[in-house]
Structure 1
C-alpha cells in the first residue's frame, strides 16, 4: 500500500479500486451486484420464511439470540469496555488532532445541526420508547433488578436511573464512534469508498474489494434492515397505543399499518429531498420539538424532583459504571443477560447504520472533536432526558400516583401513563406521539441513505430510485411481519438483528486495530504543522 501526499493534505492509499467500477445498471438503479443481490435474496427468504412459519422462526432465532448472549456475554462486555477505553485513548493521544478530510478540511454542517443529526439517527426513538419503561422496570423488578438491589426502595430508585444511563451513555456511543470514525477516516483521508469494508483495508489490503469485502457489507445491510424494520414495527405499536390512549382510536393491526404507511410516505419524501433538505431538516425539527417537550415536562411536573433526579442519575452512573461493566461472577443474571448484554448486542447490530450515517455528516472535524462530541453530548442529553421522564415516573410510583404505581403493564403505554398525571395531558401526549413518528421518519430515511450507499459500492450520489426502494422496503417488511406473524415475527426479526451482533463485535474489534494503524500513519502530516 504505497502512499502519496496530495495537495489537499491527505495521505491517501494507492488502491486500484475506484468507486462504482464494479457497479451495474438494473431497473434504473446503480448497484454493486454481489452485495445488492445477496442482501435482497437473504432478506426475501427470511421474510417469507418468517411469515409462513412465525412461531418456528421465533423459536429458532430466539434460541440463537439466547445462545449468543448466554455463551458470549463476557465477549460483549469486554468488547464494550474496550471500545470506551479506545475512544478515550484516541482523544488523549496526539492522533486526536488529525482532521477528517485532511488538514485543510472544513465542517460541512453547523455544530448544532451535526449534533441533531447524529443524535436523532442514533437513539432518538429509543429514548421515547424506553425513557419511562426502563427505569420503572428496574425499580419495580419487572424483569430483574441491577446488581440485585431490592426493588421499590430508595436504593432501587437511584440505581434504576444509573443503570438506565449505563445502557444509554458512553458504551453505546463508543460503539457507534468506532464505526463512524473508521469509515470517515478511511473515506475522507484515505480516498476509499464510504462503505463498511473500507475500514478493513489496512489489514486486508486489496482483498476487501473481493468476496470477503462483499460478505462484510452484506452482513451490514442485513443487520441494518432488520434493525430498522423491527424498530418501525415496535414504534407503530407504541404510536397506536398512544393514539388509542389519547383519541380512543382502536389499537388494532389496521391502525399500526396506517402508522407505518404514514411514516414510510414521509420518509420517502425526505429521502427524495436528500441529506440537506430531508434528514438535516427533520433532525433539527426533532431536537427542537424534543427540547420543548422536555422543558415543558420539567416546568409543569415535579420540578424539584426532576432536578434532583438529574443529580441522582449522574452520581449513580459514575458510581456504578464499573460494577455494571463487570462480567465476572455476576449474581444479577436476569438483569445482566436480559438487559445489559442484550443492549450491547443490539447497539453493535445497529452500529453499521448509525456509524455510517454519522461518518457521512462529520467531515471536517478533528478526531478529538469528533470523539468528544459523539461520546459526551448524547450522553449528557440522554442523562437529562432520562432524569426528566424516568425520574418523574419513579416519583409517581413512590407517591402512589397513577397507573404506573400498580406496576409496568405495557412498555408502549408507559410514557403516556406517566403524562396522564401531569397538566395538559392531551397536549403532552400528542407531542409525544408526534415525536415518536418524526424520530421514526428520521431513522428510516437516514437508514435508507446508508443501505443505499453500501449496496451501491460506496457511492453517495446513486439514483433517487434506490433510496426510495430501501425506504419502501423497510415499511413493507414491517407491515408484512405484523400481518403475517404479529409479535412472533417481530420478535424473530429482532432476534435475528441481535444475533448478527456477535460476528459484528469481532469485526469492530478488528476495526479498532485497522483504525489505529491508519491514524498512526497520518501523524507524519501533523508533525510538519
Structure 2
C-alpha cells in the first residue's frame, strides 16, 4: 500500500526494480531494431541448452515431483500455512479456479487439440499401429501437462507461503534463501535471485501471451475472415493488455478472483458441451485408458531422455515444456502462495499437484480424443492443419461439430480471459518482488508491469514468432531450475526446525497434563487424610 506522497504510484525496491526493468526494456528495444541478431542469439542458446542440459531439466523435474510428495506425506504435511489458527481466505472452488486460470489456461486452449494431433501424426516413439500412435500421443501430452509440470509451482508456492505467513519474511524469492545464506539475501545475491525471478516470469508470461494471441487471431480469421498476421497479433496484445491492466487495478479479490471463477465455469461448460456433442463413448473410454497408461508409464516417460534416438524431438517439446513450467514457477508459485494461507502443507500440495492435473487429463482426453477420432475416421484433416499452423487446431475441430460459430466464439473468449488472468496475476506477482515483498504495491506500479508484459510478448512475436518465444523461455528456465533445487533444501531445513518445535510443544503439553493429573491425585489423597 502507498504510505506517503512519493509512494502513491510507485513503491519500488531499487536494487531489483531498476536492473529488471532495464534488462526487459533493452530486450524489447533490441527485438524491434535488431530482431535477427536477437533471434539468432536466443536460438543458439536454446540449441546448446537443449543439447547439453536437456538431461538436467528432466532430472530436475523428477526431483521436484519426489520432493513435493515427500513434503506432503511426511511429518511436514501437518504444518498449517499461516500458523495453527489460520484459516483459508477463499473457498475451495475459488482457490482451484485461481490455480487453474493462473497456472495453465492458455496452454490448454492452444495445445488441447494441437499437441495430441501433432504427436499422433509425428510419433515421438516408434509405433506400428494407429492405436499405438493414439496411445503415445496422449501419453506424452499427459506427461507435459501432468504431475511434473505442476511440481515447480508446488515447490515455489509452498516455500513462499511458509516463509511469508509462518516466518514473516517478505514475499520475494530471495527470502527463501535466508536459511542458506543468512543476511546476504539483503545484499547482492538476494537482489540477483529476485532479478532472475522477474526476468523468468516476464519471459514465461510473454511466451504464454504470444501463444494466446496467435490462437485468438486464428479464431478471428476462422469466424470473421480477419487476416491472421503479426500486425493482428500485436494489435490484440495491445487491446488485451489494456484489459488486463484494468483488472490489475481492481486487485486480487475483485479483479483476478472474479475473472478466474467466471472463466472456470465457462471452461467447464465448454468442456461438457464438447464431451456430449462429440464421440462421448470414445472419449470416456480414452480417458480411462489414458490415465492408466500415464500412471503405468510415469517413471519410464518421465525419465526418457531420447538418448538412443537423438532425433531432436525432445528439444522442441519436453525440454521446452520443462523450461516453460520452470520459468512460470516464480509467477504462479507466488500467486498460489498469496491465495493459499490457511491450508495445511498436505492440503496445499495435493490441491496444487493432483486436482489441476486431473482436470488437465479430462480436458486433453476430451479435446485431444475428439480430434484423434475425427482424424482416424477420415472426417477432417486436422493433422494437416496442425502441421501447417498449430494455432488453428481447435477451430478446425470445432468446425466438425454443430454450432461451430458459437463454440469458436466461446473459445476466443476463453483464451482472452485466460490471457487477462495470466497477465494481471503476473503483474501482481512482479509488483511484489520489485517492491521488496509487499503484498499490495501501488496501482501505478501494477500498470507499469502489466504494460511491460504486453511489450515483451509483442516484441518477441515481432522478432521471430513462436520460435523466439520458445528460445527466450528456455534461456530463462535453466538458471531458475538451479534456484528451485536450492529452495527444496532450504524449505526442508526450515520444515525440520518447525516440526521439531511442534514436537517439543506437544511433549511439554503432555508433561503439563501429566503433572496436573498427578497434582489432582495428590490433592485427593490429602483430602482423604
Q: TM-score, normalised by structure 2?
A: 0.91
Q: Aligned in 2, Cα 1:407/1:250: closer, same or farther, shift over 3 Å?
A: closer
Q: How many equivalent pairs are there?
A: 503
1:152-193 superposed Cα distances (whole Å, 9 cap, x missing partner): 621110111111001100001111100110111100110000
2:489 aligned with 1:513: yes
Aligned residue in 1 for 2:68: 87
Q: Secondary structure at the match of 1:256?
A: helix
Q: Secondary structure at the match of 1:500?
A: helix
Aligned residue in 1 for 2:467: 491
Aligned residue in 2 for 1:413: 392
Partner Cα separation in structure 2 for residue 218 and residue 80 of structure 1:
23
Q: Secondary structure at the match of 1:108?
A: coil
Partner Cα separation in structure 1 for residue 306 and residue 216 of structure 2:
40
Q: Could you tell me whether the CA contact under 8 Å between 1:133 and 1:411 is conserved in 2?
A: yes
Aligned residue in 1 for 2:292: 315
Structure index of larger Rg: 2
Aligned residue in 2 for 1:103: 84
2:411 aligned with 1:427: no
Q: What is the Cα deviation at residue 57 of structure 1?
A: 1.0
Equivalent of 2:441, from 446, 459, 462? 462
Aligned residue in 1 for 2:522: none
Q: What is the Cα deviation at residue 432 of structure 1?
A: 0.6
Partner Cα separation in structure 2 for residue 136 and residue 86 of structure 1:
33
Q: Aligned in 2, Cα 1:252/1:503: closer, same or farther, shift over 3 Å?
A: closer
Q: Could you tell me whether the CA contact under 8 Å between 2:118 and 2:383 is conserved in 1?
A: no
Equivalent of 1:302, from 258, 262, 279? 279
Ranges in structure 1 where 5+ consecutive residues have no aligned partner: 1-18
2:476 aligned with 1:500: yes
Q: What is the Cα deviation at residue 231 of structure 1?
A: 2.1
Partner Cα separation in structure 1 for residue 6 and residue 435 of structure 2:
10
Aligned residue in 2 for 1:526: 502
Q: Aligned in 2, Cα 1:492/1:337: closer, same or farther, shift over 3 Å?
A: closer
Aligned residue in 2 for 1:259: 236
Partner Cα separation in structure 2 for residue 120 and residue 405 of structure 1:
28
Q: Report which stretch shifted further, 57-66 or 439-448.
A: 57-66
Aligned residue in 2 for 1:146: 124
Q: What is the Cα deviation at residue 223 of structure 1?
A: 1.1
Q: Could you tell me whether the CA contact under 8 Å between 2:62 and 2:303 is conserved in 1?
A: no
Q: What is the Cα deviation at residue 26 of structure 1?
A: 6.9
> Where do 1:205-354 residues align within 5 Å?
205-327=182-304, 330-333=307-310, 334-354=312-332
Partner Cα separation in structure 1 for residue 256 and residue 44 of structure 2:
37
Partner Cα separation in structure 2 for residue 271 and residue 181 of structure 1:
24
Aligned residue in 2 for 1:12: none
Q: What is the Cα deviation at residue 24 of structure 1?
A: 12
> Where do 1:10-25 residues align within 5 Å?
25=6
RMSD of Structure 2 on Structure 1 (CA): 2.0
Q: Aligned in 2, Cα 1:163/1:253: closer, same or farther, shift over 3 Å?
A: closer
Q: Report which stretch shifted further, 341-350 or 445-454.
A: 341-350
Ranges in structure 2 where 5+ consecutive residues have no aligned partner: 507-529
1:447-481 superposed Cα distances (whole Å, 9 cap, x missing partner): 00001100000011221111111111222333344
Q: Secondary structure at the match of 1:147?
A: coil
Q: Secondary structure at the match of 1:30?
A: coil
Q: Report which stretch shifted further, 515-524 or 323-332.
A: 323-332
Partner Cα separation in structure 1 for residue 225 and residue 274 of structure 2:
23
Partner Cα separation in structure 2 for residue 389 and residue 194 of structure 1:
38
Partner Cα separation in structure 2 for residue 77 and residue 346 of structure 1:
13
Higher helix residue share: 2
Q: What is the Cα deviation at residue 521 of structure 1?
A: 0.8
> Where do 1:95-134 residues align within 5 Å?
95-134=76-115
Q: Could you tell me whether the CA contact under 8 Å between 1:396 and 1:405 is conserved in 2?
A: no
Q: Could you tell me whether the CA contact under 8 Å between 2:2 and 2:441 is conserved in 1?
A: no
Q: Aligned in 2, Cα 1:395/1:327: closer, same or farther, shift over 3 Å?
A: closer
Q: Report which stretch shifted further, 219-228 or 372-381.
A: 219-228
2:112 aligned with 1:135: no
Q: What is the Cα deviation at residue 502 of structure 1?
A: 1.1
Q: What is the Cα deviation at residue 278 of structure 1?
A: 0.4
Partner Cα separation in structure 2 for residue 337 and residue 242 of structure 1:
28
Aligned residue in 2 for 1:442: 421
Q: What is the Cα deviation at residue 266 of structure 1?
A: 1.6
1:9-63 superposed Cα distances (whole Å, 9 cap, x missing partner): xxxxxxxxxx999x99578311000111001111111221121121221111111
Q: Secondary structure at the match of 1:217?
A: helix
Q: What is the Cα deviation at residue 505 of structure 1?
A: 1.0
After TM superposition, which residue ranges in structure 1, 4 or more long, deviate above 4 angstroms? 23-27
